[in-house]
Structure 1
Amino acid sequence: MRFGIIGTGTVGRTLASKLVSLGHEVTLGSRSKDNTAANDWADRAGPYGHAGTFAEAAAFGEIVVNATSGTVSLHALELAGGEHLEGKTLIDVSNPLVFSPTGEVTLDPVNTDSVAERIQRAYPAARVVKALNTVTAAVMVDPGRVSGEHNLFIAGDDPEAKAQVRIVLEEFGWPAASIIDLGEVQAARGMEMMMPFWLRLMHHFGHTDFNYAIRSAG
């Protein structure tokens, strides 16, 4: 399958490398063709890895992944081009973290909206699925880094798109039973609001190889 990844940071490159290792073809998209991170990644990735602009990545992918910072995601997807997103599953991995000069972390949007919802409203013909935003990049593609059973969450309005994302997550190593479908895309609000707490846990543990494990009596 062909994937277009919007964003060349650690998350984007980690996802791109995993997908290539699984035999998928990936275009890693950046604002311009001369992006060093994207071009260096493509040079190392082999024949299935390519570098391109946001628009080229979105046009290339059968599935598109938004791996940009949540505060700039809408602008990045605007550059990618709405016509390149129509009818496609769009996996939103972003978090709208805002860091103050003193180090405090807030979210924008928060509580009454989410990045995933804003993307879905802006691109109604895309099939937005929120996923992978509650774990660090390395755990996204290698859940075995965290011992025991632990959970991943997805949310979105399109059942077929969520089923497609589940297949990708299972390829990454997430057991089917570990993936909790929280329902419609509005549930992304809670998923994004988990991140300030996640950052507190990171400071507590001193590393990022941890995750949430949900236990239910029924």
Structure 2
Amino acid sequence: MSTGLSPKRVGIIGTGNVAGALGAAWRASGHDVVLGSREPGRRSVAGLPVVGQAAAAAHGEVIVNATPGTESPALLQALGPAVLDGKVLLDPAVGFEGDGLAHPGRSLGEILQEAFPRTAVVKTLCTVTASVMADPGRLDEPGTLFLSGDDPGAKRIVAGLLGGLGWPEGSLLDLGGIATARGQEHFALLFLGVAGALGTHEFNVRVVPPVAARGTVE
């Protein structure tokens, strides 16, 4: 898929490994990034400013949900639609509960889109670990990164942000609407098995089309 213009202000909700890795990489590529915490001012993450969650959401042209997937709906509902309406929400989170998924019948992406109908939710980055999200150059080749969402314009904006992380245009595969986020999130179970077999979480998979379909994946 083709990439769009990349926004300059990014508000990341969360202060964990995903938030720190993505925030540092986007700052290095020229974006104005802040992290949102329930306890702002208590710590610095990757040298990035840490503000309240509502302030981070208000700051971002794109908001990134880097909260635990089991907590994401409640945390974002607490922020309210006022700071989310009209914005793009990039969602890389997956909710785990015990040995399985917290949302087995639906995806977290769908739940968030239903909760915030005026926000364009785009599911991506949830099939790789945080270090690879922020730097696909750590791998021999990038592999395939998936996008799911109902708003084509929002997906183009997110694709631009992914390009700033080093993901080439040819590695991005648009799966379709937000319902396809279920497949991305369910991959987490296979991801854990592959990580155990390889002895590392730093890997990716690549979609290999049939010979007749070789060329740029649209």
Q: Same fold (TM over 0.5)?
A: yes
Structure 1 residue 12 and structure 2 residue 19: aligned?
yes
- 1:22 is matched with 29
Query: Where in structure 2 are there 5+ consecutive unaligned residues?
Result: 1-7, 214-218
Other-structure match for 1:102: none
Q: Does 1:183 align with 2:176?
A: yes
- Would you say the 8 A contact 2:90–2:122 is kept in 1? yes
Q: Does the aligned pair in 2 maintain the 1:155–1:184 contact within 8 Å?
A: yes
TM-score, normalization by structure 1: 0.90
- Structure 1 segments, 4+ long, off by >3 Å, are none
Partners of 2:136 and 2:142 within 8 A in 1: no
1:104-183 matches, within 5 Å, as 105-110=99-104, 112-183=105-176
Structure 1 position 174, deviation (Å): 0.9
Shift of 1:118: 0.5
Aligned pairs, how many?
204
Three-state SS of the structure 2 residue aligned to 1:125 is coil
What is the RMSD computed on CA atoms of the aligned residues?
Answer: 1.2
Q: Which amino acid aligns with 1:212?
A: V
CA drift at 1:34 = 4.2
**How far apart, in 2, do the equivalents of 1:8 and 1:78 lie?**
18
Determine if contact 1:7/1:67 at 8 Å carries over to the other structure: yes
Q: Distance in 1 between matches of 2:32 and 2:17?
A: 18
Partner of 1:197: 190
Distance 1:176 1:58 in 2: 27
Report the identity percentage. 40
2:16 aligned partner, one-letter code:
G
Displacement after TM superposition at 1:210 (Å): 0.7
Q: 1:106 to 1:17 in 2, by over 3 A?
A: same
Structure 2: distance between partners of 1:209 and 1:107 = 21
Shift of 1:148: 2.8
Compared CA separation, residues 33 and 148, structure 1 to 2 (3 A)? closer
Higher relative contact order (CA 8 A, sep 6+): 2
Q: Contact between 1:87 and 1:126, CA under 8 Å: does it hold in 2?
A: yes
Extract unaligned runs of 5+ from structure 1.
100-104
Q: Deviations over 1:88-137 (max 9, x none)?
A: 010001001113xxxxx200111x31100000000000000001000001
- Partner in structure 2 of residue 58 of structure 1: 57
Which whole-Å CA distance do the structure 2 matches of 1:77 and 1:212 have between them?
30
